[in-house]
C-alpha cells in the first residue's frame, strides 16, 4: 500500500513535470525567448529587414500585411509561407493573397541569415512577427515589443484563408464579423486598418468603388480613375492606399 501510493505520487509528479515542460515550449511567449539560444537573432533579422526596405520602400507595408495575413489563418504560425504540397493547397493562391501578398523572399532571406548564426532555433512565425515590427519602426510608424516562441505550422489551408481573410469588396458587417472571429472588436479593426496609411493597392481591388459607389469622396474617386480604367485593362495598376503618406 505504502509503496504503491509512493509510486502514484511519483507518476503524478512526472506527469506534471512533462506537462509543464511541453506547456512551456508550446504556449508560453516571451520577448526574451531567444536570449540564450540565439542572442543575435533580433539584430540579424532587423538588418535584413532594414536592407530590404532601404532597397524598396514599399516592402515595409508588404511585410506588415504579410504578418497580418499569416495571423488571420490558423494563428501566427508561418502558414502563409508554405507552398502547395501533395497533401494540402496552401494560402498563397487564396483570393486575398494571389498576386497580392509580397515579401516572402525577404522572410526567407532573414531565415537564412539566422540559420547561419544559430541553426534550427528561430521560427519563421517569429521572423514574420519581428519583420512587421521592424518595418513599422523603420518607416517611423509605431513600435512595440514582440513576444516570441511561436512554433511553425506544418500545414496550411487555402480554404481557411478564403474564409477568414477580409476581401476588398466586403461590407462593414462582414468585416466586423471576420475580426470578431479572431477576438478583435470593431475599434481594434479600425485601429489596425491604420496600417493602410502606407502601401499600395491594385486597380482591380478598388475599381468598383471609384466608378460605381457614391459613399466616397468624389474628388478622390475622379483622381483615382486616372490610373485605373473602367474596363479590365490595368488590373494590376498601383495606387497608394493613402495619397498623403504613401511611404
Ligand X SMILES: *[C@@H]1O[C@H](CO)[C@@H](O)[C@H](O)[C@H]1NC(C)=O
Q: Which residues are catalytic?
A: 69
Q: Which residues bind ligand HEM (CB under 6 A)?
A: 58, 61-62, 64-65, 68, 100, 102, 166, 168, 175, 189, 192-193, 195-196, 198-202, 205
Mask: binding to ligand X, 221-240, rule CB under 6 A, as x and -? ---------x----------
22 or 83: CB nearest ligand X: 83
Can residue 19 be called a binding residue for ligand X (CB under 6 A)? no
Residue in the shown chain whose Cβ atom is closest to ligand HEM: 199
Residue 202 interacts with, from ligand X, ligand HEM, none (CB under 5-8 Å by kind): ligand HEM
What SS3 class is residue 200? strand
Whether 51 has a binding-site annotation, put simply, is: no
By C-alpha distance, which of 121, 128, 109, 116 is closest to 52? 109
Q: Could you give the CA distance from residue 185 to residue 198 in angstroms, rounded to a whole number?
A: 22
Mask: binding to ligand X, 148-187, rule CB under 6 A, as x and -? ----------------------------------------
Can residue 65 be called a binding residue for ligand X (CB under 6 A)? no
Beta-carbon contacts of residue 128 (< 8 Å; ≥ 6 apart): 63, 66, 67, 70, 76, 78, 80, 81, 107
Residue pair 52/131 in contact by the 8 Å Cβ criterion? no
By C-alpha distance, which of 114, 118, 119 is closest to 130? 114
Query: What sign has the CA pseudo-torsion 19, 75, 62, 179?
Result: negative
Residue 220 interacts with, from ligand X, ligand HEM, none (CB under 5-8 Å by kind): none
24 or 95: CB nearest ligand HEM: 95
Amino acid at each position: 500500500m505504502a509503496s504503491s501510493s509512493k509510486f502514484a505520487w511519483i507518476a503524478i509528479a512526472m506527469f506534471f513535470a512533462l506537462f509543464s515542460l511541453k506547456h512551456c515550449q508550446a504556449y508560453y511567449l516571451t520577448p526574451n525567448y531567444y536570449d540564450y539560444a540565439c542572442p543575435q537573432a533580433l539584430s540579424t533579422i532587423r538588418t535584413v529587414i532594414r536592407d530590404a526596405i532601404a532597397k524598396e520602400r514599399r516592402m515595409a507595408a508588404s511585410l506588415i500585411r504579410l504578418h497580418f495575413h499569416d495571423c488571420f489563418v490558423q494563428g501566427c504560425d508561418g502558414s502563409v509561407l508554405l507552398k502547395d504540397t501533395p497533401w494540402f493547397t496552401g494560402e498563397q493562391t487564396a483570393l486575398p493573397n494571389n498576386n497580392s501578398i509580397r515579401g516572402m523572399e525577404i522572410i526567407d532571406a532573414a531565415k537564412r541569415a539566422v540559420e547561419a548564426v544559430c541553426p534550427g532555433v528561430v521560427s519563421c512565425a517569429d521572423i514574420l512577427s519581428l519583420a512587421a515590427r521592424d518595418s513599422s519602426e523603420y518607416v517611423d510608424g509605431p513600435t512595440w515589443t514582440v513576444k516570441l516562441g511561436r512554433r511553425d505550422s506544418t500545414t496550411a489551408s487555402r480554404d481557411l484563408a478564403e474564409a477568414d481573410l477580409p476581401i476588398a469588396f466586403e461590407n462593414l458587417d462582414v468585416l466586423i464579423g471576420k475580426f470578431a472571429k479572431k477576438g478583435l472588436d470593431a475599434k481594434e479593426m479600425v485601429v489596425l486598418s491604420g496600417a493602410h496609411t502606407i502601401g499600395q493597392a491594385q486597380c482591380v481591388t478598388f475599381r468598383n468603388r471609384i466608378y460605381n459607389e457614391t459613399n466616397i469622396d468624389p474628388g478622390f474617386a475622379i483622381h483615382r480613375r486616372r490610373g485605373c480604367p473602367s474596363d479590365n485593362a490595368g488590373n494590376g495598376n498601383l495606387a497608394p492606399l493613402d495619397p498623403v503618406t504613401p511611404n
